[in-house]
Amino acid sequence: MKYLIIGLGNIGDEYENTRHNIGFKIIDKLTKDNSISLSIDRHAFMAEYKYKGKTLILIKPTTFMNLSGKAVHYWMQKEKIPVENILVLVDDIALPFGTIRMKAKGSDGGHNGLKHIQETLGHSNYARLRFGIGNNYAKGRQVEYVLGEWGKEEQSQLIQYIDKSIEGILQFISVGIDKAMTFVNQK
């Protein structure tokens, strides 16, 4: 059984440590912890990871955030992965920093990456793991905030929340979305 795990972010050094790139950071930590290398492929950096008899196709789209649906669609088709086996890792300003929430489906919440995935797939019935980045910005400064780098205090706690996100991914592929939501959303 195959799963597609998509970490959203933007390519380029200038975006590497920004809040908007948390999806990339989660994929990077998962691959590093398991000694897996990402390689460049069509529309994404990708790696394959075997876990408990299941295959995870891990991708970091190279299409930039606003065109994420292009990479998602390509890899779903290439690997013949049904929509119920995809999980999108995304930043969320509506959640306090470090809050992790999993949902089976939902709106794009104003997130351009999710919006493009929804437009490309023609629906919003795909799972997502939402990583809270908070909303500590002045009116009109949202773009600066999400494309800004983590603060010192946030950086000191970031790894523990990334690890919690990875636990959520493994729950998703091990026990399914409903039980994974219970596990992730109660912690």
Domain ranges of the chain: 2-186
Residue 168 corresponds to which tokens in the numbers above? 């959520």
CA distances for 19 relative to 57, 107, 143, 154, angstroms: 23, 20, 10, 10
Is the CB of residue 143 less than 8 Å from the CB of residue 7?
no
Q: Evaluate if pTM is beyond 0.85.
A: yes
CB-based contact 184:100 (threshold 8 Å): yes
**Integer Cα distance of 132 and 154 in angstroms:** 11
123 is catalytic: no
In this structure, the number of other CB atoms found within 10 A of the CB of residue 80 comes to 8
Mean pLDDT per 10-residue segment, the chain (187 residues): 97 94 98 97 97 97 94 97 97 96 93 95 96 92 94 95 97 96 88
- Find out whether 68 and 113 touch, Cβ atoms under 8 Å: yes
Query: pLDDT value at position 187?
Result: 61
- In words, the CATH class of domain 2-186 is alpha beta
CA 176 – CA 97 distance, rounded (Å): 25
Active-site residue, from 20, 43, 111, 116: 20
